Amino acid sequence: MGLFDIIGPVMIGPSSSHTAGAARLGKMARAILGEKPVSAVISLYGSFARNYKGHGTDKALAAGLLGISADDTRIKDALTLAGLSGVQITFETRENSDVHPNTAEFDLVGAAGRKVRIIGASVGGGRIIITGINEYQVELTGDYTTLLVVYKDEPGIVAGITQVLARENVNIAFMRVSRRGKGGQAMMILELDQPVPDKTLEEINSASSIESAIMVQMP
């Protein structure tokens, strides 16, 4: 256990889970979308659903979507700032006993038309975990620079991408693959020790079997 685990994050209160973690969830969702959101439907579960207004969870989630950090005093005005920025945010409450009690589901539309559904939870002390991106089960904490690659599931794709990264001296800390079914669409999640150079990301995206490759970095 480190010092951060004991004292918690630097943040605007009242709760590390309901405020700091929520802001980090929103920020991670924005990073995965890869562009400014213009529309967000956020479904809240468990404790988030019951207490989001009293704990300011709605403001923290909105702040994260705007790129505002957990220690920024603008959190209290995030819903107003979202409206002024042209970001339409709707909150819904749902029930599902199978998810973590501090779970939020984001249905986002970006300024360039990109759409994504993201499920994540605030797990305490300002930490988060992303468990779903669209139809894929994932496990992301935002602690590493992450390369998300959606591709056609066929032999050689994983090896080809890892070889490209090795050539550029990009070290892989963790790697996971999630797929819909054999021979269908799959997602590769690569948590890295350093960012992928822009030209390398362009090279990966240009491959015929690659649908998309995006970098997710938490500032």
pLDDT tens readout for residues 86-116:
999 999 999 887 889 899 999 999 999 999 9
pLDDT digits (tens, 9 = 90+) for 188-219: 999 999 999 999 999 999 999 999 999 998 76
Structure tokens at 67: 């790129």
Say what the pTM is.
Answer: 0.84
* pLDDT classification of 13: cutoffs 50, 70, 90: very low
Bridge partners, residue 191, by sequence: 146, 174
Query: In whole angstroms, what is the distance from residue 198 CA to residue 170 CA?
Result: 12
Query: In whole angstroms, what is the distance from residue 105 CA to residue 25 CA?
Result: 10
Higher pLDDT pick, 218 / 41: 41
Q: How confident is the model over 181-185, as a mean pLDDT?
A: 81
Domains of the chain (ranges plus CATH)?
A: 3-134 (3.30.1330.90), 145-216 (3.30.70.260)
